[in-house]
Structure 1
Amino acid sequence: MKNTKKNGLLLVLGGLLLIGTSCQERSKPSEEPEQEEKETVKPPSDIISIEQSKSLYDNYTRNRIAPIMAFEKEMNDDEEFEAARFVDFDYDTMKQYIAYVEQEAKKAKVDVSTFRLYFANYPNSEKFRDGKKVVHPRQNSIFILPTMMKNGQNMGFYIGADGQAQLIRNTVKRNEQGYGGIQDKSQRSQASFVPSLSAPLSLQEELSLIMNHGSSGPPPGGDF
């Protein structure tokens, strides 16, 4: 009889221990899932060395800056003019721009193949033809144009009013003066108000994907 009671007591205690252990296991906070390690980004093949960048910078100084300064001195009699050496685009603005272009290209069902950087030059006037202010008159700059693959070539595009991708070259009119030599002063006053590309007024209703208005100027001290 005593053995029966003893065995029963052991069974009860064993059951309580099992219940307690089970409750502890259920109440134990779940382990956080392991976060996947991000794959290491390999450097693009187009990365150049600092030594190469210095060489390119110095070549531009010798072969481009000196002629620009001489041109501005002759054409505008401006001793204080300082040629631009760079164009800045804010990092977050660049990310937003790329995301925006991808978004609009996806809507138009085309793939962006490249981002083309065009060399540019601001007019010698206070405003553009559309009334917007020219921030850096006469300064060199760049503008960025996305391209898509068409007939085996990368071609700049924008989004038409119909939501479809349209080729820039089919919309703008080419200005034949774009490849001329140095203009004399009588030509300069006229050229200041004639854009190198003139677009029809209907283009204002289209969706441009071209970005400009970066911060440009002489290099900050210490870069090169």
Structure 2
Amino acid sequence: MKNLTNLIKPYLVIAFALILATSCKEAGQTTTISPELDEYKKKIEGYEKEITELKELLDLEKNRKEPTNIIQSDFAKEIYHQYDERAALINKVVGTDGNGNPFNATRYLSYDLDQLKSYIKYIESKSRKAGVKPTGVNFYFALYPKDYVRDDKKDYAKRQTFFVAPTYSKTDDGETAHIAYTLDNDFKIVDLHKLLEVRIAAQKAGFFSSSASLIEDNSLVGNELGGSPPMDK
């Protein structure tokens, strides 16, 4: 709170200076925005950003809970290498990547933190309009098709990825389930599991190809949040 007060003081001083300059102009004096006032304006914008960030930190600290899913690095190393044999099998089965080079299975995905925060705010905002409260997110393993192109390159073709979707809670006969969902263009909730099953059935029946897609203004399904997956090396 002391830090917040210290930030507000210079903000008030600069604001007073701008008010004084505006008053002089209204009094009939011909004035132009001086470099000093322009600098003050930039400082105010900077202070506003710092105050917002500090408030967010204070809110996080106030509501902070210790996570219960932290594992030790030794165990992380153990389970990481448990995947080695499967990765080698994937490399053998897939054969080559989109560029014709020996395939290296994806071993991790890297997501940008700001992109993740932006995604969370996005699903919260869209869901609020739909009258539903997100309770969490589901992660779905997926695979890019062999003809997948990103940035005019086939580096990610055939490569493993995952997409995420929010969940909401639904209680039926005393049992609570967390259901993955997206929204249609009218902000109506769509059960994502049912949507995926219907799409798979339609593809098998030959109704449309895997590259076909519908325009969804309110889709909540996220992928490529900051560039994923990276190359094996």
Same fold (TM over 0.5): yes
Aligned with 2:167 (options 147, 151, 156): 147
Q: Retained in 1: the 8 A contact 2:88–2:105?
A: no
Shift of 1:79: 5.5
Shift of 1:159: 1.5
Aligned with 1:91 (options 88, 105, 113): 113
Higher relative contact order (CA 8 A, sep 6+): 1
| Distance of 2:184 and 2:62 partners within structure 1 | 38
Measured on the aligned residues, the alpha-carbon RMSD in Å equals 3.7
CA deviation string 1:109-161 (max 9, x = no partner): 11112211111111111459xxx976500110111111112343222211222
| Distance of 2:93 and 2:117 partners within structure 1 | 37
Instruction: Please tell me whether residue 58 in structure 1 is matched to residue 85 in structure 2.
Output: no
User: Structure 1's 91 and 65: CA in aligned 2 closer, same or farther, altered over 3 A?
Assistant: same
Shift of 1:171: 3.5
Instruction: Please list every run of 5 or more consecutive structure 2 residues that lacks an aligned counterpart in the other structure.
Output: 7-53
Q: Retained in 1: the 8 A contact 2:139–2:163?
A: yes
Structure 1 stretch displaced more, 113-122 or 78-87: 78-87
User: Structure 1's 88 and 175: CA in aligned 2 closer, same or farther, altered over 3 A?
Assistant: same
1:18 maps to none
User: Structure 1's 125 and 141: CA in aligned 2 closer, same or farther, altered over 3 A?
Assistant: same
1:70 maps to 92
User: Structure 1's 126 and 104: CA in aligned 2 closer, same or farther, altered over 3 A?
Assistant: closer
Q: Retained in 1: the 8 A contact 2:182–2:219?
A: yes
| Distance of 2:88 and 2:180 partners within structure 1 | 32
User: Structure 1's 115 and 159: CA in aligned 2 closer, same or farther, altered over 3 A?
Assistant: same
Instruction: Please tell me whether residue 204 in structure 1 is matched to residue 215 in structure 2.
Output: yes
User: Structure 1's 47 and 99: CA in aligned 2 closer, same or farther, altered over 3 A?
Assistant: same
CA deviation string 1:168-210 (max 9, x = no partner): 23444152699xxxxxxxxxxx9xx954xx98x6x42451111
- SS of the aligned residue for 2:109 comes to strand
Q: Retained in 1: the 8 A contact 2:137–2:164?
A: yes
Shift of 1:217: 2.5
Alignment of 1:29-44 (within 5 A): 32=5, 38-39=61-62, 41-44=64-67
Alignment length, in residue pairs?
Answer: 167
Instruction: Please tell me whether residue 175 in structure 1 is matched to residue 195 in structure 2.
Output: no
| Distance of 2:102 and 2:96 partners within structure 1 | 12
TM-score by length of 2: 0.59
Aligned with 2:124 (options 87, 102, 105): 102
Q: Retained in 2: the 8 A contact 1:147–1:154?
A: yes
1:24 maps to none
Structure 1 stretch displaced more, 153-162 or 36-45: 36-45
| % same residue | 27
